[in-house]
């Protein structure tokens, strides 16, 4: 019977972790399936338009829409609209992140506050953000702040609820141990609460980033604040359907980029967590 040197198990485990990370970073099969899904969707769209299943005047085929997207991408107004949309998305998400993280930690650490705010949270959380559009218009008109209100409200709950779950998952034995060692409240939050709640927080941010983009576009469509949504409305009203669908594709691509960026940030910040590095046998 051969006994492996003490360091072999550590090396094997390190290699296994690296392989698990590599598998999670890139999967050729998933990439091919994703590309196949896009190609199938475009093919169905093309056939529906070319065969007259739908009126090609109102649904131009992708072979006309996609080249038109590259054409309008050369116009400065297109990039200004993207900048306006990203500004509303990023500002609203940042405000929601700060407010939800602080509120989630403060309320989550206090059983009294959790009981006192439970009914209020359960009442406010299910209210659709689009239902606040009349309020946003009354308060701010068609200014940037109207879009910001909707984005912050929608993103706040996604992050806040996840932070509450994360704080509730904190090991109370670890908290008691920290107190016995004389940790201050800030040290308890920094060294015990935050590492436990971070995976939940990042999940909330990833979900909120998608919701924030949806609400930014929706506000621009309905209220008329500057951005891609407003440009889509202008194209529709002018009967310029090639431009309308091209801008819709642009919003989809923007959503994909935001989702990829959020997942990359999540993997980067949680590289130490089993949800990212994968379970590796001991």
Let me know if residue 164 belongs to a domain.
yes
pLDDT tens per residue, range 78-106: 999 999 999 999 999 999 999 999 999 99
In a domain, 20, yes or no: no
Model confidence pLDDT, tens digit, residues 224-242: 899 999 999 999 998 888 9
What's the total number of domains in the chain? 1
> Would residue 28 count as lying in a domain?
no
CATH number at residue 163: 1.10.3720.10
Q: Is residue 24 part of a domain?
A: no
The stretch 174-193 carries a mean pLDDT of 84
Position 130 in a domain: yes
Q: Confidence class of residue 8 from pLDDT cuts 50, 70 and 90? A: very low
Residue 42 maps to a domain: no
- Rounded to the nearest angstrom, the gap between the alpha carbon of residue 28 and the centroid of all alpha carbons in its chain is 24
Q: Which of 214, 233, 213 is nearest to 223 (CA)?
A: 233
In a domain, 193, yes or no: yes
The predicted model gives 38-47 an average pLDDT of: 87
Domain that residue 111 falls in: 59-272
- Inside any domain, residue 113: yes
| pTM, full prediction | 0.81
């Amino acid at each position: 019977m051969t006994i492996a040197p003490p360091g072999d198990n550590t090396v094997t485990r390190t290699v296994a972790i690296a392989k698990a990370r590599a598998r999670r970073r890139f999967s050729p099969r998933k990439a091919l399936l994703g590309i196949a899904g896009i190609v199938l969707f475009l093919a169905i769209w093309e056939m529906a338009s070319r065969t007259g299943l739908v009126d090609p005047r109102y649904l131009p085929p992708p072979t006309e829409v996609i080249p038109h997207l590259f054409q309008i991408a050369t116009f400065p107004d297109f990039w200004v609209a993207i900048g306006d949309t990203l500004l509303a998305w990023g500002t609203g998400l940042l405000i929601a992140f700060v407010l939800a993280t602080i509120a989630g930690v403060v309320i989550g650490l206090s059983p009294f506050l959790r009981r006192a705010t439970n009914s209020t949270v359960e009442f406010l959380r299910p209210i659709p953000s689009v239902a606040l559009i009349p309020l946003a218009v009354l308060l701010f008109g068609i200014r940037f702040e109207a879009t910001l209100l909707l984005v912050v409200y929608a993103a706040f709950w996604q992050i806040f609820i996840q932070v509450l779950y994360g704080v509730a998952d904190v090991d109370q034995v670890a908290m008691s141990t920290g107190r016995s060692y004389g940790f201050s409240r800030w040290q308890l939050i920094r060294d015990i609460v935050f590492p436990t709640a971070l995976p939940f927080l990042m999940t909330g941010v990833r979900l909120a980033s998608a919701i924030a983009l949806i609400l930014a576009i929706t506000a621009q469509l309905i209220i008329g604040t500057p951005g891609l949504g407003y440009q889509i409305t202008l194209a529709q009203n002018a009967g310029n359907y090639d431009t309308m669908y091209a801008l819709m594709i642009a919003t989809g691509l923007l959503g994909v980029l935001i989702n990829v960026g959020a997942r990359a940030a999540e993997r980067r910040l949680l590289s130490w967590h089993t949800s990212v590095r994968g379970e590796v046998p001991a």
